[in-house]
Amino acid sequence: MTANRKILFLPGDGIGPEVMREVHRVIDWLTKHRGLGFEVQEGLVGGAAYDAHGTSLADETLADAMASDAVLLGAVGGPKWDDVPRQLRPEAGLLRLRKEMDLYANLRPATVLDALVDASTLKPEIVRGLDLMIVRELTAGVYFGEPRGIETLPDGVRRGFDTQVYTAPEIERVARVAFELARKRTNKVHSVEKANVMESGVFWREEVSRLHAAEYADVELNHMYADNCAMQLVRWPKQFDVIVTDNLFGDLLSDCAAMLTGSLGMLPSASLGAVDGMGQRRALYEPVHGSAPDIAGRRIANPIATLLSFAMMMRYSFDDAANAELIENAVQKVLAGGLRTADIMQEGTAKVSTDVMGDAILRELDKVAR
């Protein structure tokens, strides 16, 4: 068997390492029962890397990420590193990975599984059957725009500033990802900005409209202001299929969309780069939830978002929808059977630890293998 899938594991901080452990077990299962070859390497990112190397992403780790087919990341950050200078902070390591790997398209699905309809804080009829995809631009905008800083003016007044900036190619390439995805779904895109107050928003709208008219006129395109989008997401989220938006609005709206599903502990994400001449693209997969330092090490974290991120890797990096679905279905069966980690506990269900949730998912996989 050849180890043809080269994966870099970056568990990171907090609950990252413990949720990643469950993915190792699924990889072992796929190797044994599905005859797949994986070559898994592990590295440090975030606070863990800072503690070991004094930087939240070592150059060697970045090189390993560049050389792998796909990266799976746990989570970064925690109060332990609150006093570390911003450019060395755990989050800076993640931002550098995204930027250097040029992972401009961040796919954040929000789907409500039937078994979890009641875990949402919204009424069941609002969220039942929800399936939307946020495509967040990830390598430009105010997160990276220059100039930025904190300075003291000649008159002694201090000020802080960032720059929101997008080039036409940066907008076009992420909008293209959204239109392509929409064609495989229900063919509807909402492009979200603040064209009513921001020049960059006017420009975003122009560029998305231009691409739409030129190449994607078959897809329904709606423009929406970001504040309205936030409101519509909690009012009637099923009006959306694919939402495409900039880095900052995407950060906010994806947290909001995530919570429609009841728990951040359920949601995976994929960050994708451009397809090269060989049909390959750089990719990083990570759960949408953070490092949750308050529950780290207690074996109560939900491993599902990370397992589903791995399933996205199978689908998008290894073009293996069959094994992706196998994992997704196993997760759904376990939830339907009434097992829950603490974050998605409901009346009448059984609370289990991280590893017991992992055991149950492996048992479901075993049933398929038989």
Residues found near ligand IPM in the complex (CB under 6 A): 91, 94-95, 251
Residue 241 binding Mg ion, by CB under 5 A? no
* 9 vs 40: CA distance, rounded Å: 7
Q: How far is the CB of 278 from ligand IPM (least distance, A)?
A: 28
When binding is defined by CB under 5 A, the residue of 69, 193, 241, 251 that contacts Mg ion is 251
Identify which of residues 91 and 102 has a Cβ nearer to ligand IPM in the complex: 91
Indicate the pairing of strand 131-137 with strand 242-245: parallel
DSSP 145: -
Identify which of residues 286 and 328 has a Cβ nearer to ligand IPM in the complex: 286
Out of 13, 50, 194, 320, which one is annotated catalytic? 194
* Residue span 153-172 as binding mask against Mg ion, x where in contact by CB under 5 A, dash where not: --------------------
End-to-end CA distance of the chain: 21
Out of 51, 64, 131, 255, which one is annotated catalytic? 255
Residue 244 contacts residue 205 (beta carbons within 8 Å) = no
Instruction: Clarify whether 59 is annotated catalytic.
Output: no
Instruction: Clarify whether 166 is annotated catalytic.
Output: no
Instruction: Clarify whether 255 is annotated catalytic.
Output: yes
Out of 50, 104, 143, 216, which one is annotated catalytic? 143
Identify which of residues 56 and 323 has a Cβ nearer to ligand IPM in the complex: 56
List, in sequence order, every beta strand (DSSP E) within the chain.
Answer: 5-12, 38-42, 70-75, 105-111, 131-137, 149-152, 158-161, 188-193, 220-225, 242-245, 270-275, 281-285, 339-340, 350-351
Q: Give which of ligand IPM, Mg ion, none residue 131 binds (C-beta under 5 to 8 Å, depending on kind).
A: none
Please identify, among the stretches 73-81, 89-97, 246-254, 319-327, the one whose residues bind Mg ion according to the rule CB under 5 A: 246-254
Instruction: Clarify whether 216 is annotated catalytic.
Output: no
3-state SS, residue 179 = helix
Out of 13, 241, 251, 320, which one is annotated catalytic? 251
Instruction: Clarify whether 143 is annotated catalytic.
Output: yes
Out of 51, 64, 162, 227, which one is annotated catalytic? 227
Q: Give which of ligand IPM, Mg ion, none residue 94 binds (C-beta under 5 to 8 Å, depending on kind).
A: ligand IPM
Q: How far is the CB of 121 from Mg ion (least distance, A)?
A: 19
3-state SS, residue 228 = helix
Tokens 């550098």 — which residue?
Answer: 96
3-state SS, residue 254 = helix
Q: How far is the CB of 265 from Mg ion (least distance, A)?
A: 15
Determine the size of the site formed for Mg ion (CB under 5 A): 1
What six digits make up the tokens of 246? 């900039």
* 360 vs 358: CA distance, rounded Å: 5
3-state SS, residue 185 = coil
Q: What are the catalytic residues?
A: 143, 194, 227, 251, 255
